[in-house]
Amino acid sequence: MLFMRTLFKLTVLLFLFVASCAGPSARPPTPPPSAEVAAYAKEHGLDATVSLDLGGGVTMEFVLIPAGKFIMGSPETEKDRLDNETQHEVTISKPFYMGRYEVTHEQYEAVRGKKPSAFKGAKNPVDSVPWEGAQEFCKKLSAKTGKTVQLPTEAQWEYACRAGTKTRFYSGDAEGDLDRVAWYGANSKGLTHPVGQKGANAWGLYDMHGNVWEWCQDWYGEYAAGAATDPQGAASGPARVLRGGSWNGGPGGCRSACRSYITLGWTYTSGSRVVLAGSSAKPPVPAGPSAVQSIPPPSADVAACAKERGLEPAMSLDLGKGVKLELVLIPAGKFLMGSPEPEKGFTRETQHEVTISKPFYMGRYEVTQEQYEAITGTNPSQFKGAKNPVESVSWEDAQEFGKKLSAKTGKTVQLPTEAQWEYPCRAGTTTRFYSGDADGDLDGVGWYGSNSGGTTHPVGEKKPNTWGLYDMHGNVCEWCADWYKEYEAGAVTDPTGPATGAFRVLRGGGYNNYPWFCISAHRACHRPDVRDFVSGFRVILAGPP
């Protein structure tokens, strides 16, 4: 056994030595834009290709992917088809730019300063990258270039891979058709190869089949039934999606429709390719002040509570340098927490009566980037904009913000409990959203997967609830103080959640979620140290007002 392991290691080293001595890659000339892409670019005033400067002479090329419709998944008769490839119509509503090649070693090192790959070579695709590593690459490249760089959704990936084709591979149905467009088990000699050596698809993308598996943004889950527009995948899950197959796999794994996933970590076959969010490949920075909806007067119950207790219906904290944080009085009261069993999207939401025994003040808006930066001196957000909600913050980061803001203002600033979040979100309503029950009722009050364009938006642009709170549905998921646990049975007063746990609660849904994820009762959770592009928060003032 020891001899065999030593022989294997020597064989791999020999392959690596041969690959490193092979000299510059023989990359074929980049094809001109297809007629479809060229016409689309001209019609919409866009460049057919763009390039990012990563420094040190390293660049990254992107290709315009036009908006359109396609059939995602595979027909039941397709060879090597898997059960998770149910065909359904998908609309990609906006154009975007996708990397012409998989992310290479030199590009990854230029941005992150490290080379995790098992197979070396400046022009080879980076491998051995976990999903979190690919996300960190995107975050740092976004900060470096001022563009919004991210992983493609699974739908964006397959749409761009197919480039209008319906066959197993973009080159045809036969396995022989794969040889000229991909490095896979039958021709790779057990190695990755420099990107761009095989044939491109009709939209000018290389290595969409083989070389390395490519991470997608989505959690893995079964496809939702029926047609979909800009799908974002499952709301949560234990595994992220990989697409495209790799150097050590068979033809079946390289098919346009094939779906793979990994629960945690990485393999020698996992790499990435990135997209630029937004049709113009420009970062979503607002040109001026956000178009905040006019603030409504206090509702009758808020006004009555304020008068009875001698309180202000609204107040603000001065964060310095002209930055303020507005808060709204939330009256004490009772409500039914959770959702009725017939409610669409019901999950872990058993209804029970909750009493909020004391009034408190809650942030009128999600904490913005200018507010977060005023207190912490940093802005970790991927989607830049002073009035946009801060995101890519962990529960621990939100706690630190509250601690520093408390010290600065002399107030006790903290995250709301889960009950303190749902009670003001509902503001006396019993419907799925504070605006109604239908999915269409969400459009006017929240930024979510179907209307956000894949980005956060300045706070306060959608309509508030009757207590004057904005963006309680969508934009970013909001951290709560509680550890996550199934609800206890029976009525409770001022619940604070379990004493310990592994995950903290998130509420409200985000810019990339389905409507059911944004309902008033929906409960999500994550590790308290995790920073996700969709996680933000809003704060309350604790104690008697």
Cα distance between residue 538 and residue 407, in whole Å = 17
Tens-place pLDDT, residues 339-382: 887 665 545 688 999 999 999 999 999 999 999 999 999 999 98
pLDDT at residue 435, as a whole number: 95
Average pLDDT of the residues of the chain: 88
pLDDT at 370: 97
At residue 300, φ and ψ (nearest 5 deg) are: -60, -40
What is the structure's pLDDT at 544?
A: 58
Which DSSP letter does residue 501 get? -
Pairing of strands 535-536, 477-483: parallel
pLDDT at 289 over 70: no
Query: How far apart, in whole angstroms, are the C-alpha atoms of residue 22 and residue 19?
Result: 5
Residue with more model confidence, 139 or 31: 139
The per-residue pLDDT for range 299-334, each reduced to its tens digit, is 888 888 889 989 999 999 999 999 999 999 999 999
What pLDDT shows up at residue 233?
87
* Angstrom distance (rounded) from CA 331 to CA 357: 9
3-state helix, strand, coil in the chain (%, to 5): 20, 20, 55
Paired residues of 50 in beta bridges: 62
Spatial separation of the C-alpha atoms in residues 434 and 427, rounded to whole Å: 7
Query: Per CATH, which fold does 301-541 belong to?
Result: paralog of FGE (formylglycine-generating enzyme) (3.90.1580)
Q: Does residue 4 register a pLDDT over 70?
A: no
Q: 10 Å Cβ neighbour count for 380?
A: 18
> Could you say which DSSP state residue 254 is in?
G
Question: Does residue 543 carry a pLDDT above 80?
Answer: no
Q: Does the pLDDT of residue 266 top 90, yes or no? A: no
Strand partners, 354: 335, 492
**What strands lie across the sheet with 535-536, from one edge to the other?**
524-526, 504-507, 477-483, 535-536
| Burial (0-12, 13-18, 19+ Cβ within 10 Å), 429 | middle
CATH superfamily of 2-276: paralog of FGE (formylglycine-generating enzyme) (3.90.1580.10)
Residue owning tokens 């944004």: 518
Q: State the DSSP string of 288-346.
A: SS--PPPPPPPPHHHHHHHHHHT--SEEEEEEETTEEEEEEEE--EEEEES--TTSTT-
- Average pLDDT (104-130) is 91
Q: Domain spans of the chain?
A: 2-276, 301-541
Residue 292 has pLDDT above 60, yes or no: no
Rounded CA Rg of the chain? 25
E strand or H helix that includes residue 7: helix 2-20
pLDDT given for residue 52 in this prediction: 94
pLDDT at 25 over 80: no
Confidence grade of residue 34 (pLDDT, cut at 50, 70, 90): confident
pLDDT number for residue 12: 36
pLDDT digits (tens, 9 = 90+) for 51-68: 999 999 999 999 999 999
Residue 385 binned pLDDT confidence (cut-offs 50, 70, 90): very high
Q: What residues have CB less than 8 Å from 522, skipping those under 6 apart?
A: 345, 347, 349, 507, 508, 509, 516
Which candidate, 91, 55, 80, 399, places its Cα nearest to that of 245? 80
2-276 and 301-541, same CATH topology: yes
pLDDT exceeds cutoff 50 at 20: no
119: Cβ contacts below 8 Å, ≥ 6 apart:
16, 19, 127, 191, 192, 268
AA letter at 486? E
User: Coil, helix or strand for 374?
Assistant: helix
What confidence score (pLDDT) does residue 347 get? 54
Q: Is 133 helix (H, G, I), strand (E, B) or coil?
A: helix
- Which among 131, 137, 44 is positioned nearest to 99, based on CA atoms? 137
Residue 137's pLDDT is 94
Does pLDDT of 477 surpass 60? yes
H or E element in which residue 229 lies = strand 228-229
For residue 111, the Cα-to-chain-centroid distance in whole angstroms is 20
Q: Is 241 helix (H, G, I), strand (E, B) or coil?
A: strand
- H helices of 163-218, in order, are 176-179
Residues making up the chain, counted from first to last: 545
C-alpha distances (whole Å) from 414 to each of 29, 62, 208, 361, 362 are: 57, 43, 46, 11, 10
pLDDT for 21: 36
Contact 213, 245 (CB under 8 A): yes
Q: Is the pLDDT of residue 529 over 50?
A: yes
Distances (CA, A) of 300 to 309, 312, 330, 466: 14, 14, 12, 9
The model's confidence at residue 384, banded by pLDDT at 50, 70 and 90, is very high
Tokens of 267: 């393999």
Tell me the C-alpha to C-alpha distance, in Å, between residue 259 and each of 54, 135, 252, 264, 428. Answer: 31, 20, 10, 16, 43
Q: How confident is the model at residue 454 (pLDDT cuts 50, 70, 90)?
A: confident
- Residues with Cβ within 8 Å of 500's Cβ and at least 6 positions away in sequence, in order, are 483
With bands split at pLDDT 50, 70 and 90, how would you rate the model's confidence at 264? low
| HEC sequence for 422-448 | HHHHHCCCCCCECCECCHHHHCCCCEC
CA distances, 436 to each of 88, 446, 447, 514 (Å): 28, 12, 15, 16
Residue 456: pLDDT band (50, 70, 90) is very high
Judge whether 256 and 201 are in contact, CB under 8 Å: no
191 pLDDT above the threshold of 60: yes
Q: Judge contact between 534 and 360, C-beta under 8 A.
A: no
Q: pLDDT for 154-190, tens place per residue?
A: 999 999 999 999 999 999 999 999 999 999 999 999 9
* Percent of the chain at pLDDT exceeding 90: 70
- pLDDT score at 398: 98
